[in-house]
Structure 1
Amino acid sequence: MSNSRGRGLQAGVLGTFDTVVMAVAGSAPAYSLAATTAVLVGAVGLAGPAALLYCAIPMLGIALAFSYLSRIDVNAGASYSWVGRTLHPFLGFISGWALVISATIFMVAGSLPAGSMTLALFDVRLAGDTALSTVVGAAWFVIMLLVVLGGARLTVRAQLVMSGVELAVLALFAVLALFHSDNARAFDWSWLGFSHFGGVSGFASGALIAAFYFWGWDVTSNLSEETRNSRRTTGLAGLIGVGIVFLLFEVFTIAVNVILSAQQIQDNNANVLAVLGEAVWPGWGGKLLVVSVMLSTIATLETTLIQVTRSLFAMGRDRTMPSALGRVHRTWNTPWVAITVVGAVALAMFIASNALGTVGDILSDAISAIGLQIAVYYGLAGLAVVVAYRKLLLKSAANFVLGGLWPLLGALFMFWIFVESLGRLSPAAVAIGIGGLAVGLVPMLWYWRQGSDYYRPAKLDATRTVAADYVPGGSTGAQPRSHEGLPTDF
């Protein structure tokens, strides 16, 4: 797959600890809990902890797929490149497009709570004002846009501050919740079983929402060209990130079941974590968790910007999108054209979002739509690793389970919840989710007709690795080379 001549991203900027921080920030534990808990409870009731548990198992399979694939192809496009080189270039483009469109939708779904939570620090009544929340959220988005434009090193420094405070507050309240005595109901082990789902379709709806909780850890793969020892580091960081956020999600979802009533959750659908904080620590608790959610939301805006802009950069470099998107800034070594385009589109969506309804309404449809798109590109990556490693799967038990069976089951699970959920979602959510994917057919077919080399790829094979030619400020234009020497075990 040929690349356009030009400057590369800045290689070797991030280390292992940095990428773990980015993986956790990408999943945005505090934001996901605040924005999505009411949606999850509305879909499956008390079975929220079970939905998260049974989605975490296949999600780890997808994280393993990303880990294995990142070892043989270092590419900022991640699943866009891997799926295109293993399954089919059309599927690869759709995989990349699914990430781009879901991340773009999230610019609205994420920025509105950022504005809402900021306003809640001053006056709770202002938090429900969609227009004002949009303005404040847009301001935060522009700040994060400038940070991402400044380069990976500046980005991770900002993440260390924001995510550090967020995780410290969440850890404190996880402990406080364990000792809270004023409970709405007693803990029940059935919350981790299947009895509360109300059938297979109910479980699928809960799993789709749970997928949104976890989404974002794979930002580490989009940063692979900027990470030291990335063939190992990016995948390992993704796995660690999934494990950390799973524990946080389970603890807080169980705490919500125990401490808050169904009416409290329904009345505070965009601010559940703040209500939980107030119940656990009256006076200070609500405000501290509002700060945590605000920082989490701003942090995940940053990681989402990285995912969408690096994906568009890879597409521009391969000429499957306008080649200008593959341009890199001379000073900061960041894809400045892609960042500018995403910023302009997102700000336009902020203005349009005022006509969509309340913050809670927007979040509900957006989360479900994004869930559909996540299921597509995660599922395709799970299939891609099996094809790429097909010659090595029987070489060892580790390869068979970690590089084949588990990712395959994860992929099948993602496709299953996609199909099962279609009949349960609102028309708006389905239209956003499927319509967003369908729009991608236009650039895909256009650039295929234009003769992009992406559509004539060398097959990705785990018996050979693709050599990375990405050097700081250097050319990324060389044809990727293959060579022997892939470690065959995880």
Structure 2
Amino acid sequence: MSSTRREEAPSPEVSEHGLKSDAIGFRDALIIGIASTAPAYSLAAVIGLVVVTVGVQAPAVLFASFVPMFFVATAFYYMNRADQDCGTTFSWVTRAMGPWPGWIGGWAICVTGILVVGSLADVAARYTYLFLGLDGAAGSKVAITLFAVVIIVAMTAVCVVGTELSARIQDVMIIAQVGALLLFAVVALARVFGGTAPEESLAPRASWFSPFAVPDASALIGGLLIGVFIYWGWESSVNLTEETENSESAPGLAAVASTVILLVTYLSVTTAVVAFAGVGTAREFADDDAILSTVATGVLGSPWDGLVVLAVLTSALASTQTTILPASRTVLSMARAGAMPASLGRTHPRFLTPHISTIVVGTLAIVWYVPLNFVSENFLFDTLSALSLMIAFYYALTGFACAIYYRHELLKSAKNFLFIGVAPVLGSLMLAYLFFRSMVDLANPGASYTGGSVFGLGVPLVIGLGFLLLGAIFMVLWRLGGHERFFGRRPEVAHPGATEGPLAQRETVGAPPEGD
């Protein structure tokens, strides 16, 4: 659409869900996809644990974790070509597999967002205090919790005001975190190869990047369970599909590209940390996200090490905001489809954003975070462990849905067979295996940060399966209340040539029926 047309238009174009069309472009969607993973914080949180699990093969584990993410990202790309619905997994799985799996897939997206937002805001609050030199506040649970709530409220407000504002804020924060991470990695590796690193430093080897070099298969699987979590979030760009220019291709391409950029970032930083600090030092930070800031002091010196602290801060802050986006859009889509109360499907008349669902997501995130943080901080850590179950669950559903929906198109070309059939199914099978393997590992009370158990099962497993079971109960209750419009849907199949056309579906699952 030309700039002249924009100036002459009395009002912005609106999508089926009442969202502002063409609010952001490909670059904005890409940045939001990267920011949603909180790359700096994710690395700080898991590098030590991955090194404990697999040693110098930590880069290999992060590379192996990338494979199912990339494969499932192709499913997001092709499903978005068929159906530009902000509900993503909810809408697509409903089309391909029916309303029941579609509903529970949408529920998993909503729950993951609500459960993790508080933890992200908590990290942002603590690192803000550290960056400002307010060590006393950084050690005060009350000060951190209050500031975290302020952050959640502020980021919720930003999401309500508009997608363009969200994108502009992310533009600034992504430079702060990715730029600082890459600077850290380059300087660290330069000092290792230049001979100015500490005695415990190690020269990187090719075997560090090979998953097959990990001697213990169980260790590799354990590392994959950790690695999958740090890639989670790249699909946020696709949740903004109705608000993105070239919505049938740009959001999906942004999702695929973001996984590749994350891979490069993760491998660079992880290799730099292991090479510069050595395995022994990295292992000391198995449960401490201060590893990056600590190693950065040795690499960059003061005050430049503050850039890495700033990177973790902005990473958590940016992800607090971008994590609200997919949860709120999924709620909006489900409400408009008749799968949730219709009031949740309202959009703001001025801002053209799902203000009701956004406020609900932000409020529930606070309700979950505040009391649990005061009762037991370890319980929040167990919540993060439980997220791996729901992440693997809805990603796997999406991959299977892609192959099922396009099943009549798979044999029409080698490209279709590989990228719409083989890749999504392989990615989903890998994630399904990790889902069940994670259930086994999390069932052990010893794997819980709290050390507690419920019915003899570890707390993370109870949280993960408990919320999926709660979703199933809500789904059944919603069905018993009627709602034939949604539950009466039947699985669909892509029309001939859908993989080549610019738009395969005119009406999305979450759109109101014609005549509304």
TM-score (norm 2): 0.86
Match of 2:161 among 138, 150, 171: 150
Q: Which residue of 2 aligns with 1:168?
A: 179
Q: Which residue of 2 aligns with 1:266?
A: 284
Distance (whole Å) between structure 2 residues aligned to residue 97 and residue 198 of structure 1? 38
Q: Which residue of 1 aligns with 2:197?
A: 182
Q: Which residue of 2 aligns with 1:205?
A: 222
% identical equivalent positions? 31
Q: Flag structure 2 segments of 5+ consecutive residues without an equivalent.
A: 1-14, 448-457, 499-503
Match of 2:425 among 392, 408, 416: 408
Q: Which residue of 2 aligns with 1:159?
A: 170
1:35–1:363 Cα contact (<8 Å) kept: no
Label 1:191 to 1:357 Cα distance change in 2 as closer, same or farther (>3 A). Answer: farther
How far did 1:106 drift?
0.7
Q: Which residue of 2 aligns with 1:100?
A: 110
Matched, 1:341 2:367: no
Deviations 1:335-358 (A, max 9, x none): 111112112211122321323544
How far did 1:381 drift?
0.5
Distance (whole Å) between structure 1 residues aligned to residue 207 and residue 137 of structure 2? 38
Label 1:197 to 1:104 Cα distance change in 2 as closer, same or farther (>3 A). Answer: farther
Aligned residues, how many? 470
Q: Which residue of 2 aligns with 1:41?
A: 51
How far did 1:365 drift?
2.3
Higher mean alpha-carbon deviation, 41-50 vs 90-99, is at 41-50
Higher mean alpha-carbon deviation, 191-200 vs 26-35, is at 191-200
Label 1:323 to 1:6 Cα distance change in 2 as closer, same or farther (>3 A). Answer: farther
Higher mean alpha-carbon deviation, 240-249 vs 362-371, is at 362-371
Query: RMSD in angstroms over aligned alpha carbons?
Result: 2.3
Distance (whole Å) between structure 2 residues aligned to residue 424 and residue 287 of structure 1? 37
Q: Which residue of 1 aligns with 2:22?
A: 12
How far did 1:65 drift?
0.3
Match of 2:512 among 477, 480, 484: 477
How far did 1:324 drift?
1.0
Matched, 1:455 2:487: yes
Q: Which amino acid aligns with 2:197?
A: D
Label 1:304 to 1:189 Cα distance change in 2 as closer, same or farther (>3 A). Answer: same
Matched, 1:316 2:355: no
Distance (whole Å) between structure 1 residues aligned to residue 320 and residue 300 of structure 2? 28
How far did 1:263 drift?
4.4
Matches within 5 A, 1:369-448: 369-425=386-442, 426=447, 427-448=458-479
Deviations 1:202-224 (A, max 9, x none): 32221121111111110111111
How far did 1:362 drift?
5.3
1:6–1:327 Cα contact (<8 Å) kept: no
1:389–1:403 Cα contact (<8 Å) kept: yes
Q: Which amino acid aligns with 1:308?
A: A
Match of 1:87 among 97, 102, 119: 97
1:279–1:285 Cα contact (<8 Å) kept: no
How far did 1:197 drift?
5.1
Q: Which residue of 1 aligns with 2:11?
A: none
Matched, 1:466 2:477: no
Distance (whole Å) between structure 1 residues aligned to residue 169 and residue 38 of structure 2? 14
Tell me, what secondary structure is at the counterpart of 1:424? helix
Q: Which residue of 2 aligns with 1:220?
A: 237
Q: Flag structure 1 segments of 5+ consecutive residues without an equivalent.
A: 481-490
Matched, 1:293 2:321: no
Tell me, what secondary structure is at the counterpart of 1:273? helix
Deviations 1:24-48 (A, max 9, x none): 1112211211223233334444332
1:209–1:367 Cα contact (<8 Å) kept: no
2:98–2:491 Cα contact (<8 Å) kept: no
How far did 1:293 drift?
1.0
Matches within 5 A, 1:189-200: 189-194=206-211, 199-200=216-217
Distance (whole Å) between structure 2 residues aligned to residue 431 and residue 285 of structure 1? 43
Higher mean alpha-carbon deviation, 171-180 vs 324-333, is at 171-180
How far did 1:21 drift?
1.1
Higher mean alpha-carbon deviation, 333-342 vs 197-206, is at 197-206
Deviations 1:57-77 (A, max 9, x none): 121110000000000011111
Deviations 1:338-394 (A, max 9, x none): 112112211122321323544xx4564233211111100000101001011111111
Deviations 1:283-318 (A, max 9, x none): 123311111111111111111000110011111112
2:59–2:267 Cα contact (<8 Å) kept: yes
2:118–2:152 Cα contact (<8 Å) kept: no
Tell me, what secondary structure is at the counterpart of 1:285? coil
Q: Which residue of 2 aligns with 1:64?
A: 74
Matches within 5 A, 1:22-37: 22-37=32-47
1:44–1:196 Cα contact (<8 Å) kept: no
Label 1:40 to 1:7 Cα distance change in 2 as closer, same or farther (>3 A). Answer: same
Label 1:117 to 1:431 Cα distance change in 2 as closer, same or farther (>3 A). Answer: same
TM-score (norm 1): 0.90
Deviations 1:159-211 (A, max 9, x none): 11111222222222222122123143312433323477563333222112111
Distance (whole Å) between structure 1 residues aligned to residue 208 and residue 430 of structure 2? 21
Match of 2:258 among 227, 233, 241: 241
Tell me, what secondary structure is at the counterpart of 1:477? coil
Q: Which amino acid aligns with 1:59?
A: M
Label 1:476 to 1:194 Cα distance change in 2 as closer, same or farther (>3 A). Answer: closer
How far did 1:90 drift?
1.4
Higher mean alpha-carbon deviation, 193-202 vs 183-192, is at 193-202
Label 1:136 to 1:43 Cα distance change in 2 as closer, same or farther (>3 A). Answer: farther
Distance (whole Å) between structure 2 residues aligned to residue 100 and residue 53 of structure 1? 28
